[in-house]
A and B are shown apart, each in its own frame.
Chain A
């Protein structure tokens, strides 16, 4: 029973690996097109690598670069944000995203957050969701080791050290796990989008006739709070809210 499962897994992995090789080739050819400044061709190949909503940090990143080079900054930002959702610990990505953000017209002032929260968010962004999960597992192993030592040793010093070390490891494991959990939550909720239309009137209610509160422009990142029919309630980084049509947005 167990052996058959392992065998199946092995077969699956080998199949996956073989197709992976083809993908790497395509990826390399797309990169060549990028090098030759044939960005549209590169984009087509990158997109063909991602079917059925598959995701890849590197492909998203490169797509962002292609759109940036084509002066389509909203799309560039969209793909950078998509990449960021997978892994936001990459300095290169943050750099490119910042550069792209200087090209768009809306400069939304971010409401300053409480410094502890800010620190926590910075800390959280050190690793990706997977990395955090792995780190927490490593500490989980350390915790178990501590527990094992504590329960098996006869010597008092070893016992007390292993106890405190075990408790510390447990706490670290929980903290890192929590960071991973936050990242996981962040990436599973489709709660932000990029404005794709050149200029969008943000309405006070989800109706065409309602009054215009303010205007936002393409490339601006908005948080999505609610959805009624084809209207989204959006919230900007500066705290202002309003309603916007689905067609003007692309969800990250």
Chain B
């Protein structure tokens, strides 16, 4: 266990050393520009251990010394991972002896048995203004390092600032490179209190320049020590004459003054010339810059234009054209080009509403280089189609103003036809929130069984309602009713007529029979008389009250008549009938009795006659 660990550590150590050997970097470092007569260093630098260094010959320069070897190595262990760096450098000291551009040739070295060549470099030698030939290496004597509060009039010529713009006129939104530099003939020791200029009406994007670096540059045919303070790309936001204000900073410059040695001692110590350097604080104000900003032409302005200027290409891709419902789909829209990448925006396409579209993942890659801002912006949409079918993601369009062409460009991607197949069953269960309470009752229930008895099969447009039979029934029923009523009325009338006749004739018939009965009574034929008188009474009651003879009896006489005449009269009538019936079957009767029956019958008939007319 522990042995293994140790082994791993050794192996990794070995590997890391091998790793150094694999990556050889051998290059030359020179200053960009030097003054005539200036002493400068040329350094060949190797990031590895090497041997057998072969340097070039410097024909165009005065060779002063070298190569001076210096090595450095460092080992870092961060979180258990070890990195090692090793540097070896060979430095030559040269003096510029001629004006012009000269090449420093490549050197070569052997690393791990293999020979590597360095690159070559170009040094420009310009005519110097100052007569100072002193090498910077041995001139810094800061013995009397007095700090002088700036005497501006004195410093003005020594140091100045510039705002350099790549163009003086631009369209709205067109990128402009702005560089702020300070120039000095003297050594610039420190820069403080940098106050940015005002960029009213601009959108700016800084370019990372890293640490401030002192470089040499020719300006108006003179070599200056130059420090680039800031670099940025600005985009005018509105048209008109816009101004970049002046920047302001405080710089410390080192003024080297030389004097003759005061005495022998000094001459012995420092040589013929004694350089003293003095640090001076100076304030630098750069001049303002004016940029004329042209508005974008109205002519041919696309509808979807939203102020993007530059040069772009639009690509849109989907990862698949056929997808199952509920499976994810990716739409990638990307704009690539130069211009204000951060400001880029697209109008998202109108996705079909059955697509669940998530917020796009936006990734921006921009490179703020001197050439302007270039890069790409990518929108990645995650789409989940929820329904099957054929859908179209419409084309995405994007328009910008092309400064080089001076016209608008409208880019259009192709549209995508997406075929969504049916997803797996049950893979999408509607959430309960989507279902109302009524639905929950039926959720995940199965249907009821089919019908097993066939009812009627009817013709396409068959309806009972409003059909022939329906209407017929509706008409026939009241017709039948009316007919029935009419028939009933007719029959009732006929019957009523018969009854009427009977009642009307009742008295007459009774009178006729009475006269016949009287004849029989007079003739002394008593039994026939009673038969007759009984017929008279029954017949009369039957006819008069429209009660059939068969329905009349002694028992129901009272109830039958009660509807028509009063109780007393009924009693009398019953008495008369009883007398009559009684007398009929009595053996011997006197004439008086016979007469009595006759009179009683006559009386009751006339009495009823009086009541019912």
Contacts and interface: CB of A to CB of B under 8 A. Distances in A.
Interface of A: 20, 23-24, 27-28, 31, 34, 49-50, 52-59, 61-62, 65, 68-69, 71, 92, 95-96, 98-102, 105, 107, 109, 129-130, 132-134, 137, 140-141, 144-145, 147-148, 151-152, 180-181, 183-184, 187-188, 197-199, 214-215, 217
Contacts of A98: 438-439, 441-442
B474 A140 contact: yes
B3 interface: no
Contact of B465 (A24, A130, A214): A130
Contacts of A92: 448, 451
B460 A107 contact: no
Interface in B372-389: 386-389
B447 A199 contact: no
Interface stretch (B72-80, B475-483, B507-515, B582-590): B475-483
B412 interface: no
Contacts of A31: 450, 452
Given A130-B464, A214-B353, 14 more contacts: A62-B450, A62-B451, A71-B425, A95-B447, A98-B438, A98-B441, A99-B447, A107-B439, A129-B464, A130-B465, A133-B464, A144-B481, A188-B461, A199-B354
Nearest to B388: A198
B456 interface: yes
Interface stretch (B98-106, B240-248, B484-492, B498-506): B484-492
A133 B457 contact: no
A24 B455 CA distance: 9
B299 interface: no
B474 A198 contact: no
B456 A56 contact: yes
B460 A151 contact: no
A27 B460 contact: no
Contacts of B441: 98
B435 interface: yes
B312 to A, nearest CB: 29
Q: How large is the interface on B (under 10, 10 to 19, 20 to 34, 35 or more residues)?
A: 35 or more
A65 B450 contact: yes
7 closest A-B pairs (Cβ-Cβ)? Answer: A198-B389, A53-B460, A144-B481, A184-B465, A130-B464, A58-B451, A62-B450
A55 B460 CA distance: 6
B453 A199 contact: no
15 contacts: A23-B457, A24-B454, A31-B452, A53-B459, A57-B451, A61-B451, A105-B387, A133-B465, A133-B470, A151-B488, A152-B488, A181-B465, A198-B388, A198-B389, A199-B352
Given A54-B458, A99-B446, A187 B463 contact: yes
B462 interface: yes
A58 B477 contact: no
Interface of B: 352-354, 386-389, 391, 425, 430, 434-436, 438-439, 441-443, 445-466, 470, 473-474, 477-478, 480-481, 484-485, 488-489, 492
A188 B460 CA distance: 10
A212 to B, nearest CB: 8
B460 A54 contact: yes
Nearest to A184: B465
Contacts of B443: 102
Contact of A151 (B445, B453, B463, B489): B489
A190 to B, nearest CB: 11
A99 B449 CA distance: 13
A99 B445 contact: yes
Q: What does DSSP make chain A's interface, helix, strand, loop or mixed?
A: helix
Given A58-B454, A96-B447, A148 B484 contact: yes
Contacts of A23: 454, 457
B463 A144 contact: no
A55 B462 contact: yes
B447 A52 contact: no
Contacts of B439: 98, 101-102, 107
A165 to B, nearest CB: 14
Contact of B466 (A54, A107, A134, A184): A184
Contacts of A28: 452
A199 B391 contact: yes
Contacts of A96: 447-448
A179 B425 CA distance: 42
Nearest to B487: A152
B588 to A, nearest CB: 50
B504 to A, nearest CB: 20
Contact of A52 (B446, B449, B450, B460): B460
Contacts of A133: 464-465, 470
B205 to A, nearest CB: 39
B450 A56 contact: no
B435 A107 contact: yes
B481 A147 contact: yes
A198 to B, nearest CB: 3
Contacts of B466: 181, 184
A250 to B, nearest CB: 16
Contacts of B492: 152
A54 B459 contact: yes
Contact of A183 (B354, B452, B465): B465
Contacts of B438: 98
B609 to A, nearest CB: 25
Nearest to A146: B481
A69 B441 CA distance: 20
